[in-house]
Every structure is written in structure tokens, then in C-alpha cells.
């Protein structure tokens, strides 16, 4: 038998490495393709992102939120002042009602006595 030459051994080695590398590449590409999402999914996600961006554009900015917060605070203060004023008026009306009741009772007693 003839002894294999160096180039024949190298060719055999390259063939084996090529075959193993090809199988490995095919396995990697197969897994990668299986893990890829379909284009329709990307389109749906893009539509969702555009919708979210449109909604966010309609929200108030930080400066506008600060202004709204200040305005709500001033309204709360105004409501508290009005509430205190109404309590005072209510107390005053209660005293007037009591005096009016006493005057009516006094007049009724005078008429009954006469």
C-alpha cells in the first residue's frame, strides 16, 4: 500500500473540519431562525410603540404638572377659607334664630296676657 502524502492527510483533515463546521453552522442558524420573531410581530410592536408615543405626547409636561399642582394647592386653600367662613356664618345664623325664637315667644306671651 502507498503511504498517504502530507497533502492527502491535510485534505482529509480539512474535509472533516469542514463537515463538522457545516453541521455546527447549520445547528446555530436553525436555532437562530427558530428564535426570530415574524415580521408581523415587529409591525404590531411598532404600531403599539407609536400609539404609546402619541399618548405620551398628549400628557402634560413637568412644568405643566408643577403649575397644575400649584393651582390645585391654591384652590384647596381657598376652599378651606370658604369653609371656615361658612362655619362662622352658620354659627351667626344659629344665634339669630335663637334670638328670633325668644322674640316670637315673648310676643306670643304678651298677646296671650292681653
pLDDT tens digit sequence for 2-34: 555 677 777 778 888 888 888 888 877 776 665
Domain presence at residue 90: yes
Whether 61 contacts 53, CB under 8 Å: no
Find the length of the chain.
114
Domain presence at residue 92: yes
Count of the separate structural domains present in the chain: 1
Q: State the residue for C-alpha cell 356664618.
A: 89
Domain presence at residue 13: no
What pLDDT does residue 76 have? 93
Domain presence at residue 58: yes
Query: pTM (2 decimals)?
Result: 0.41
What average pLDDT does range 76-80 have in this prediction? 92
- Write out the three cell numbers for 68: 397644575
What average pLDDT does range 59-81 have in this prediction? 91
Q: By percentage, how much of the chain surpasses pLDDT 90?
A: 34
Domain presence at residue 55: yes
Domain presence at residue 109: yes
Structural domain boundaries, residue 68: 37-113
Q: How far apart are CA 93 and CA 86, in angstroms?
A: 10
What pLDDT does residue 1 have? 42
pLDDT band (50, 70, 90) for residue 54: very high
Domain presence at residue 24: no
- Write out the three cell numbers for 56: 405620551
Domain presence at residue 17: no
Amino acid at each position: 500500500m502507498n503511504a498517504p502524502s502530507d497533502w492527502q492527510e491535510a485534505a482529509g483533515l480539512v474535509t472533516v473540519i469542514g463537515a463538522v463546521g457545516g453541521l455546527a453552522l447549520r445547528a446555530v442558524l436553525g436555532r437562530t431562525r427558530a428564535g426570530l420573531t415574524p415580521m408581523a410581530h415587529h409591525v404590531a410592536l411598532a404600531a403599539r410603540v407609536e400609539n404609546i408615543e402619541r399618548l405620551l405626547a398628549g400628557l402634560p409636561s413637568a412644568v405643566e404638572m408643577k403649575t397644575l399642582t400649584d393651582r390645585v394647592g391654591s384652590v384647596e386653600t381657598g376652599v378651606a377659607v370658604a369653609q371656615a367662613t361658612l362655619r362662622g356664618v352658620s354659627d351667626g345664623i344659629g344665634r339669630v334664630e335663637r334670638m328670633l325664637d325668644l322674640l316670637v315667644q315673648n310676643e306670643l306671651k304678651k298677646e296671650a296676657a292681653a
